[in-house]
Amino acid sequence: MLKTIYLAGGCFWGLQGYFDLIEGVCKSEVGYAQSNIPNPSYELVCTGMSNAVETVRIVYNDQKLDLEEILQRFFSVIDPTLLNRQGNDIGSQYRTGIYTQNNDTLEKIYRFIQRIQYYYDKPIQTEVKELKNYYPAEPYHQKYLQKNPQGYCHIDISLAFKPLNELKTKD
């Protein structure tokens, strides 16, 4: 069965590039979630006025990839203790977040974060919320790192090739 989750982990290019390499991910798209302004542009998002966050919409086959693995992989490539920052990217649009429209999924995410908080010295800052809205980003942002392999990325995409048990997850 196909399911959808929205992940924000700093610049959306790297997160999309990483998850595109994970078996079970059927489709990904970068965009802006939780915006106070309908259909914001990249330029508007960068001002912080929209309160939108750069997000990757991930459609996955839950028979091949379950939510637990998605969350473990997500937390292995971000620093969830940072607020409004990942790598060299700073601003509210680069905050970490997990969004869904499914209440059961939200509960599973909350429990996962409670379980892994023990392994962090600082509080986890990753927001977990019901998805308010999502708008696809401009075409030049889609699959950016495929089109621009030397483009900036704060995520080590090669980690997608490691088995889950070899990742530096905290759980």
Average pLDDT over residues 118-124: 95
pLDDT of 67 > 50? The answer is yes
The CATH number given to whatever domain includes residue 68 is 3.30.1060.10
CA angle 55, 132, 138 (to 5 degrees): 40
| Residue 85 lies inside a defined structural domain of this protein | yes
Rounded CA-CA distance 166/170 in Å is 11
11 an active-site residue?
Answer: yes
| Residue 171 lies inside a defined structural domain of this protein | no
| Residue 166 lies inside a defined structural domain of this protein | no
| Residue 163 lies inside a defined structural domain of this protein | no
132 phi/psi in degrees, rounded to 5: -80, -45
Catalytic residue among 11, 26, 46, 153: 11
Domain range holding 96? 2-158
Q: Where does the pLDDT of residue 162 fall: very low under 50, low under 70, confident under 90, or very high at 90 and above? A: confident
| Residue 169 lies inside a defined structural domain of this protein | no
Domain count, the chain: 1
Which tokens in the block code for residue 15?
């997160």
pLDDT for 171 equals 43
Tell me the residue type at 135. Y
pLDDT for 149 equals 85
Q: Where does the pLDDT of residue 48 fall: very low under 50, low under 70, confident under 90, or very high at 90 and above? A: very high
| Residue 112 lies inside a defined structural domain of this protein | yes
SS (H, E, C) 19-76: HCCCCCEEEEEEEEECCCCCCCCHHHHHHCCCCCEEEEEEEEECCCCCHHHHHHHHHH
pLDDT for 170 equals 47
Average pLDDT over residues 60-88: 96
Nearest to 73 by CA among 30, 118, 22: 22
